């Protein structure tokens, strides 16, 4: 069974700090990796995706992928209170159409 693991948190960081969110996955055939942000009472919204080893940057967000270690992370620089949300890691392989979501990490950015 394909599994995606995340620390449930809550992860608390002070405003302006770097928040680091981690995700591991069990299926070595996984090819695409996604980070979603979900505010309380809202639906998930896509932050970014990555499918090559290394780093991918988009504004304050950096996704890091290490397929050998089956590990993907999301860094949020200059964290803001508005970044407080649950962050969901999702994994997809090239053979299926389905995403497998992790349990999510709750981030709290303290002003």
CA–CA separation, 107 vs 84, rounded Å?
5
74 near another protein (CB under 8 A):
no
Q: Which of 52, 66, 80, 98 binds another protein (CB under 8 A)?
A: 98
Binders in 76-95 for another protein, by CB under 8 A:
88, 90, 92
Q: Which of 51, 60, 61, 75 binds another protein (CB under 8 A)?
A: 51
Q: Tell me which stretch binds another protein (CB under 8 A): 19-27, 40-48, 67-75, 76-84.
A: 40-48
With H, G, I as helix, E, B as strand and everything else as coil, classify residue 17.
Answer: coil
Binders in 7-26 for another protein, by CB under 8 A:
none
Do the beta carbons of residue 11 and residue 108 sit within 8 Å? yes
52 near another protein (CB under 8 A):
no
Q: Kindly tell me which of 51 and 61 has the beta carbon lying closer to another protein.
A: 51
Q: Note the Cα 10 to chain centre separation in Å.
A: 14
Take residue 19 and report the two structure tokens written for it.
């928040």
Place of tokens 């999301």: 74
Q: Are strands 4-6 and 11-14 parallel, antiparallel or unpaired?
A: unpaired
């Amino acid at each position: 069974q394909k599994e995606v693991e995340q620390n449930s948190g809550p992860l608390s960081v002070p405003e302006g700090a770097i928040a680091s969110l981690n995700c591991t996955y069990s299926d070595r055939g996984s090819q695409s990796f996604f980070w979603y942000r979900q505010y309380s009472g809202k639906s998930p919204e896509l932050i970014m995706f990555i499918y090559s080893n290394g780093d991918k940057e988009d504004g304050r967000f950096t996704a890091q992928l290490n397929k050998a270690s089956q590990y993907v992370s999301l860094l949020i620089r200059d964290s803001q209170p508005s970044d407080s949300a649950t962050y969901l890691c999702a994994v997809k392989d090239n053979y299926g159409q389905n995403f497998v979501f992790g349990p999510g990490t709750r981030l709290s950015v303290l002003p």
